[in-house]
């Protein structure tokens, strides 16, 4: 995936606002709102399909500085900022490369009436189409983006924005406790494939096969801390992984001055000794800048 989810979200919501501002027609509000009203009764991840590689939840207001950093590079401005100020929460899923859908994001907020009554009729890049369930949504083939929204919800995807299955996505046991106070939190379901890809890019010579893998970003004063909780199959394997990470920390510390770009993130990421308790291994980074966190998440998005 060429860009992180945050950039996807900010770019497309900004594009929608711009199209709304320049369009003269109007879409009937009922046609846009009705398919999304059921989201009010669903859980946090209820609008997402199962079988994703990674699920992420973002406290949008608290994570706003990080979102702003990830939006740099020409995708900024007052319009985007105003929309992010109205967004309370974002849930997203990233799907395997061989599937029809690569990502689906659900944004919840209190959006202006102009956003809930989108008018994209005059924009030739956007066409109103029908999903598999008959629900209307907007599609931009040029941007490879689909959008459905009302005054409270926005669904953004590269394919149809409505999930194809009524099966509820339920976070793994222990996730809710792990994520308390986090700005960004998620879990990995691909058996560690994306995590191992990230370790490879960071030049950390370790391969993991966790049964469950959680990650979170917390604000510590003016900086950020990244935590990861890995549940390994056996206590013996967990001890072995903790030992390997300890050796990697020594190697990284000796060679960190030679690194730049993504590999340089290995030093702050492994700044603290790993904690191993039974089959659980916990990684807690050192203090990281917002720019470092943004680079790490962008790098991780390429590993999905």
Report domain extents, the chain: 5-157, 175-302
In the chain, % of residues over pLDDT 90: 40
Model confidence over 171-222: pLDDT tens digits?
A: 999 999 999 999 999 999 999 999 999 999 998 889 999 999 999 999 999 9
pTM score, two decimals?
A: 0.84
- The ranges of the chain with pLDDT < 70 are 1-35, 71-83, 111-123, 166, 253-260
Torsional sign, CA 2, 78, 160, 58: positive
**Strand partners of residue 59:** 89
Task: State the virtual CA torsion across 32, 38, 39, 43 in degrees, nearest 10.
Answer: -170
pLDDT of residue 75: 33
pLDDT of residue 30: 45
d(CA 226, CA 78): 29
pLDDT of residue 18: 45
Whose structure tokens read 């046991």? 173
């Amino acid at each position: 995936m060429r860009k992180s989810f945050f950039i996807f979200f900010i770019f497309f919501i900004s594009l929608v606002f711009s199209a709304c501002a320049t369009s003269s027609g109007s879409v009937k509000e009922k046609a846009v709102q009705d398919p999304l009203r059921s989201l009010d009764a669903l859980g946090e991840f209820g609008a997402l399909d199962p079988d994703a590689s990674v699920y992420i939840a973002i406290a949008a207001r608290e994570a706003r500085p990080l979102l702003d950093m990830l939006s740099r590079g020409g995708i900024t401005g007052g319009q985007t900022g105003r929309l992010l100020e109205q967004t309370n929460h974002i849930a997203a899923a990233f799907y395997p490369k061989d599937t029809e859908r690569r990502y689906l994001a659900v944004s919840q907020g209190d959006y202006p009436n102009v956003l809930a009554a989108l008018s994209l009729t005059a924009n030739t890049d956007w066409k109103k189409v029908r999903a598999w369930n008959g629900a209307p949504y907007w599609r931009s083939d040029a941007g490879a983006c689909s959008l459905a929204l009302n005054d409270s919800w926005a669904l953004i995807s590269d394919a149809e924005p409505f999930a194809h299955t009524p099966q509820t996505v339920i976070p793994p046991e222990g996730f809710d406790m792990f994520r308390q106070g986090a700005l960004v939190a998620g879990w990995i379901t691909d058996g560690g494939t994306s995590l191992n890809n990230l370790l490879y890019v960071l030049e950390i010579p370790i391969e993991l096969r966790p049964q469950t893998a959680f990650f979170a970003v917390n604000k510590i004063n003016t900086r950020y801390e990244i935590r990861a909780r890995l549940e390994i199959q056996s206590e013996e394997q967990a001890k072995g992984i903790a030992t390997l990470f300890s050796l990697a920390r020594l190697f990284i510390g000796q060679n960190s001055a030679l690194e730049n770009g993504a590999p340089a993130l290995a030093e702050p990421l492994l700044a603290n000794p790993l904690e191993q308790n039974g089959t659980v291994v916990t990684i807690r980074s050192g203090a990281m800048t917002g720019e470092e966190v943004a680079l790490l998440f962008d790098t991780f998005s390429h590993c999905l």
